[in-house]
Amino acid sequence: MSSEEFGAGGRNTFGLLSSPYSHPVMLSEEQLRDLNYPLLAEHGRQLDFLASTLHQRGLDVHAVVLRLAEFQVAIPSWALGTGGTRFGRFPAGGEPRTLAEKIQDVGLLNQLNGSSNSISLHIPWDIPTDVAGLQQLLREQGLTIDSVNSNTFQDQRDQPHSYKFGSLSATDPAIRAQAVQHNLDCIGYGQQLGARVHTVWLADGSNFPGQSHLRRAYLRTQESLATIYEALPSDWTMLVEYKPYEPNFYSMVIPDWGTSYTLCQSLGKQAQVLVDLGHHLPNTNIEQIVGRLRQLGRLGGFHFNGSGYGDDDLTTGSAKPFQLFLIFNELVDASQDASLPAAQVAYMIDASHNTKDPLEDLLQSVDNILVAYAKALLVDRAALHEAQEANDVVRAEEVLRDAFLTDVRPLVAEGYRQAGGALRPVQALRTAGIRQQLIEQRGKCSLSTGL
């Protein structure tokens, strides 16, 4: 274990659970109980009231809470520090300096909500240098690595070839080979830490008409992806992410779900489409895309975030909770459709902005996701089906509104409690003074890797 890998450690003012490698800021079970205690009576009242209302609607509240308590969303390692824009960055202080500290931060989130037990890594920002130490840390914190994400959108120091004009789609075979090798390295790092998903997002594209031959760029990409796919372990999934614009503004090589879908089809069964909510033009009906991909057996994963215009990477569900609910409505509907095979969908967050404390932001994101999921579980499917078949537009919409307008927060809170977490994770984080402890431990100016 290198000290760089695990940071300097330091004073653990909260000081309860200690790791042999460092002194993570963590909460003990007793502290979590103390944080929950003053809220319990009111929580119980709200839960009872909701349970009896839902019971009258024929719903099994215990089953819903169980589903919520089991639901897991992966945290991106690159969202644990404040994100920057090209205009500036305003770090929160106490940001994780190493992969070990990132793991500790996710451990803390998972303690608070019991719903964040895995991490997405971005290579080369998160190259593991002490595999055994990191594995132990993951075990101690009850976490896994769900995915590795390649990065051929930035040039790295000492890299022989530049990605200025593309990576997997580049015209120069040597550049493509370098980009392919980077993806193979990512899979290797992922294997060391037990990941099962490799995510490819390409910044490749062009800024000006004529700059790139559109069909040939697609074919070169397909060929490069096929080489990576051949090296994919048999129990892994390869996710192909699309994005309509940025950083290229005239064309992106993989701009839409159709392109991702055709690439996956040509690669094989282990290739699946990744839907990043911020990767659609304004007003795109994302829930319909989700339904289509699920129907076609190619929905492999999500990057949740909030978007008003483009890849805004804001808190998911903050401005468009109804959209998030409609997405989960498609997922729940498909999961209850006996004619569709079950799907392994990787739920991940991909958000990072420069105004909120990143830990609070991630807790809010997971909370919004669980709220949307809970509401989707309340939809009266039989009534909706009947209304749709009868073309009763108003009734169908009312069925959705009945579910969406139900305040499900007591169910989500009960899910947290049953998973051993805090009834109100954001409030608990603040009351426990976690950010201040992280600043004391890591410094005011510590910076996390990422964009």
Residues that bind ligand PSV (CB under 6 A): 78, 149, 201, 241, 243, 276, 303, 311, 350, 451
Nearest residue by C-beta to ligand PSV? Answer: 201
* Smallest separation (angstroms) from ligand PSV to the CB of 334: 23
Q: What is the dihedral of CA 307, 116, 427, 451, to 10 degrees?
A: -50
The interface partner of residue 149, options being Mn ion, ligand PSV, none and the CB cut-off 5 to 8 Å by kind, is: ligand PSV
Binds Mn ion (CB under 5 A): choice among 23, 97, 303, 320? 303
Is the Cβ of residue 276 or residue 414 nearer to ligand PSV in the bound state? Answer: 276
Is the Cβ of residue 26 or residue 277 nearer to Mn ion in the bound state? Answer: 277
- Looking at residue 171, the DSSP 8-state letter turns out to be S
Q: Rule CB under 5 A: which of 252-281 touch Mn ion? A: 276
Please answer whether residues 415 and 371 qualify as being in contact, where contact means their C-beta atoms are separated by less than 8 angstroms: no
User: At 415, is the secondary structure helix, strand, or coil?
Assistant: helix
* Smallest separation (angstroms) from Mn ion to the CB of 120: 9
Is the Cβ of residue 101 or residue 276 nearer to Mn ion in the bound state? Answer: 276
Is the Cβ of residue 198 or residue 417 nearer to ligand PSV in the bound state? Answer: 198
HSE of 442 in the Cβ direction (CA atoms, 13 Å)? 31
Please answer whether residues 244 and 279 qualify as being in contact, where contact means their C-beta atoms are separated by less than 8 angstroms: yes
* Smallest separation (angstroms) from ligand PSV to the CB of 281: 14
Is the Cβ of residue 106 or residue 408 nearer to ligand PSV in the bound state? Answer: 106
Element (H, E) at 219: helix 214-230
| DSSP bridge pairs for 237 | 197
* Smallest separation (angstroms) from ligand PSV to the CB of 242: 10
Is the Cβ of residue 73 or residue 399 nearer to ligand PSV in the bound state? Answer: 73
* Smallest separation (angstroms) from Mn ion to the CB of 152: 14
The interface partner of residue 248, options being Mn ion, ligand PSV, none and the CB cut-off 5 to 8 Å by kind, is: none
Contact between 313 and Mn ion (CB under 5 A)? no
**Alpha carbon distances (Å) from 308 to 16, 198, 311:** 42, 28, 8
The interface partner of residue 361, options being Mn ion, ligand PSV, none and the CB cut-off 5 to 8 Å by kind, is: none
Is the Cβ of residue 24 or residue 300 nearer to ligand PSV in the bound state? Answer: 300
* Smallest separation (angstroms) from Mn ion to the CB of 220: 22
* Smallest separation (angstroms) from Mn ion to the CB of 76: 8
Q: Give the chain's end-to-end CA distance (angstroms, integer).
A: 26
Task: For residue 349, report the phi and psi dihedrals to the nearest 5 degrees.
Answer: -100, 145
CB atoms closer than 10 angstroms to residue 236: 18
**Residues with Cβ within 8 Å of residue 386, at least 6 apart in sequence:** 392
Element (H, E) at 239: strand 237-241
User: At 251, is the secondary structure helix, strand, or coil?
Assistant: strand
* Smallest separation (angstroms) from Mn ion to the CB of 87: 21
Is the Cβ of residue 359 or residue 432 nearer to ligand PSV in the bound state? Answer: 359
Is the Cβ of residue 2 or residue 159 nearer to ligand PSV in the bound state? Answer: 159
The interface partner of residue 294, options being Mn ion, ligand PSV, none and the CB cut-off 5 to 8 Å by kind, is: none
The interface partner of residue 105, options being ligand PSV, Mn ion, none and the CB cut-off 5 to 8 Å by kind, is: none
Is the Cβ of residue 241 or residue 330 nearer to ligand PSV in the bound state? Answer: 241
CA distance 115 to 40: 20
* Smallest separation (angstroms) from Mn ion to the CB of 207: 21
Single-letter amino acid code for the residue at 21: Y
3-state helix, strand, coil in the chain (%, to 5): 45, 10, 45
Please answer whether residues 220 and 176 qualify as being in contact, where contact means their C-beta atoms are separated by less than 8 angstroms: yes
Q: Which of 271, 286, 285, 210 is nearest to 236 (CA)?
A: 271
CB atoms closer than 10 angstroms to residue 281: 11
Please answer whether residues 16 and 23 qualify as being in contact, where contact means their C-beta atoms are separated by less than 8 angstroms: no
CA distance 250 to 269: 31
Binding-residue total with Mn ion (CB under 5 A): 3
The interface partner of residue 78, options being Mn ion, ligand PSV, none and the CB cut-off 5 to 8 Å by kind, is: ligand PSV
* Smallest separation (angstroms) from ligand PSV to the CB of 313: 7
The interface partner of residue 451, options being ligand PSV, Mn ion, none and the CB cut-off 5 to 8 Å by kind, is: ligand PSV
Relative to beta strand 251-252, strand 205-206 is antiparallel
Binds Mn ion (CB under 5 A): choice among 350, 360, 361, 414? 350
Rule CB under 5 A: which residues touch Mn ion? Answer: 276, 303, 350
